[in-house]
Each structure stands twice: as structure tokens, then as C-alpha cells.
Amino acid sequence: MCREKCEAPALLDASRRGGHNSAMKHTGFMDIALDEARAAGERGEVPVGAVLVDGATGAIVAHAGNRTEESCDPTAHAEMLVIRAAAAQRGEARLPDCDLYVTLEPCAMCAAAISFARIRRLYYGAADPKGGGVEHGPRFFAQPTCHHRPEVYGGIGEGDAAALLRAFFRERRGPNAERGKEL
């Protein structure tokens, strides 16, 4: 069993957000994910945040922002961090009763992890035509080799998430940089 091997990373301690609040709507969870994305951006990370919620109780199980640069780990995407923390906390590799809120359409790696963890529902903010793996790119959940397909809802908090990403990259590229494709 995983329980003996895993420990939840302290940085993803769900108690930091106060746990259960059944009245919180989808936008409330996405607001928390946006807070995590802002914090990631302030650390110099691509501003993406994620929140994993127990679908039955509405309790926040884990939340995180990207930490790829800080941890020198290309897999330290927000989605991966919350899935790892929740699996470790619960001592289980599968999270079928959980819903994931993320500010940007997950990449193929994260989509695979979402599938393998058996996440119940995926809610994301901004679409990612260049690097997305759900509605764009490989469309992971549409592949015949995909064993689990969560319910997917895009566009929640899309304007705020896209604006945050645009501002982050505009700052990095400078005022004279060529304008890339819009998010």
C-alpha cells in the first residue's frame, strides 16, 4: 500500500485553507486556484494554480501553484503537486471522489495523471492551444487508450486566468517583444 511509503508535502497542507465549506461554488474554488497561480507567478513560476476538492464534502484536500523552477523538477506542475499530496494524505493512488480545479488547461502529462488518479471532474480556466492536452494537442481523454475520462468543464474563471498568464509573459518578454498567440 502507498500509506507506508508516502507523506504529504507540508507546502500543500489543506488545513491552510480552512477545509470544508459546502456553500462554496465552482468560482470559489477557482478563486483559490487563482490565488495559488498568483503566488506561483510571484515566485517566478508560470502562474498556474490548482485545488483538489473532495466531491462529497466540498473540503479542500490539497492546493498548490507551479513549482518547476523552485524545485528543479519539470513535473512539478500544480496539478501534479495536488494529486501527489492528496494521494499521500489518503494513502491511496486513486482519487475517484475528487474534483480538480486548475487555472490552465492541463498538459498531456497532467491529463495522464488525472486519468490515472481517476479524478471525477476537471474544471479548468484558460484554454491552452499550444500546450494543452485536454481540448487541444493530444486530447488525452479522447484517446482509445485512456482508461478513465473525467467529466471536463472548461472556461471557469477563464478571463482572470488568461489575463494573469498574459501579464506574466508580457513582463518576461518586455515591451518590444513580438506578440504571441493569445491565450
Catalytic residues: 79
Distance in angstroms (rounded) separating the CA atoms of residues 81 and 60 = 14
Handedness of CA 27, 135, 65, 43 (dihedral sign): negative
Contacts of 80 (CB under 8 A, 6+ apart): 109, 110, 113
Grid cell in block for residue 102: 486548475
Residue 101 to residue 27: CA distance in whole angstroms: 9
> What is the rounded distance in angstroms from the CA atom of residue 58 to the CA atom of residue 169?
33
Q: Which residues, 6+ apart, have CB-to-CB distance to 82 below 8 Å?
A: 12, 50, 51, 52, 61, 62, 63, 64, 100
